[in-house]
Structure 1
Amino acid sequence: MKKSTRAQSATSLPPAPRDDASSRMTTYYITMGVRAACFVLMVLITPYGWHTAVLALGAIVLPYFAVVLANVGKDTRSRVAENPERAITAAAAPPQSPAERPDVIRLDEQPPSEPGAIQK
C-alpha cells in the first residue's frame, strides 16, 4: 500500500458518533413533541371540522417521519475537505546570535554568594 505524504485535514472528518446520535435524537424528540401536540389539539378543539382532520393526519403520519429522520444519518460525502497546507509562507530565518536578537532577554546564572554578601 502506498502511504500518503499529505497531512490529514481535521475538517474532512465526519461528525463524532455521539454528536450525530444526539442531533438525531433531538430531531426525533421535536417531531414526536409536535405529534403529541397534534393529538392533544385534535381532541380538545371543538367543534370538529377540517382542522381536526389535519391534526389527526399529523398525529398519524408524524411518527413515521420521526423514525425515518432519526435513523438517517447526515450525508458527509458532499463535504469538501479544506487544504491543510499552510497558506502563509514562512518568514526569513531569525538571526542566530543573541546580539542580533534584541527581543531576547538573556539571563546568566551566578554561583551562590557567601552569606551576608551584597548582590549586584
Structure 2
Amino acid sequence: MKKSTRAQSATSLPPAPRDEAGSRMTNYLVMMTVRATCFVLMVVVTPYGWHTAVLAVGAIVLPYFAVVLANVGKDTRSTRAVTPERALPAAPTVPPTAPVERPHVIRLDEQSPPEAGAPEK
C-alpha cells in the first residue's frame, strides 16, 4: 500500500484515541446506569405485570449492547482527507506595474575597539 506524501489538513484528522475512548466509556456508563435503573424498577414496582417483563428484558439485554458499543471504535477510514493546498493561494497576486518595496534592513557589525597606537583601517 502506497502512503501519501502530501500533508493532511488538521481539520480532517480523526479524533484523538484518548478522546474516542472517553466518549465510548461515557456511553458505556450511561447504558449501565439505565440497566441498573431497569433492574431496580423491576423489583420495586408492584403489581408485577407486562412492565416488569419489559424492565427485565432491558436489564438482561442492555449489558450486551453496552459492551459491544464500548469495544467498537469509529471507522476513521471513511473520513475523507482534505488537502491543505486547496485553501492556500497558488501565488501572490501582485500587479506587474506595482513598485517592489524592499524591506528596510539595518546591519550592525560588531568590531573590537581599536588598540592604542594602532592605525585605523
Equivalent residue number for residue 49 of structure 1: 49
Deviations 1:7-36 (A, max 9, x none): 222234322111111011001000001001
Q: Write out the 4+ residue segments of structure 1 that deviate beyond 6 Å after TM superposition.
A: none
Equivalent residue number for residue 92 of structure 1: 94
Unaligned runs of 5+ in 2: 107-121
**Structure 2: distance between partners of 1:78 and 1:70:** 20
RMSD: 2.5
Normalising to structure 2: TM-score of the pair?
0.69
> Counterparts in 2 of 1:17-36, with a 5 A limit?
17-36=17-36
**Structure 1: distance between partners of 2:87 and 2:74:** 30
Q: Give the drift of 1:5.
A: 4.9
Given that 2:8 and 2:82 are in contact with CA atoms closer than 8 Å, whether structure 1 keeps it comes out as no
**Structure 2: distance between partners of 1:5 and 1:62:** 45
**Structure 2: distance between partners of 1:5 and 1:14:** 18
**Structure 2: distance between partners of 1:46 and 1:5:** 66
Unaligned runs of 5+ in 1: 99-105, 109-120
Given that 2:8 and 2:84 are in contact with CA atoms closer than 8 Å, whether structure 1 keeps it comes out as yes
Q: Percent identity?
A: 73
**Structure 1: distance between partners of 2:45 and 2:38:** 10
Equivalent residue number for residue 115 of structure 1: none
Normalising to structure 1: TM-score of the pair?
0.70
Equivalent pairs, count: 99
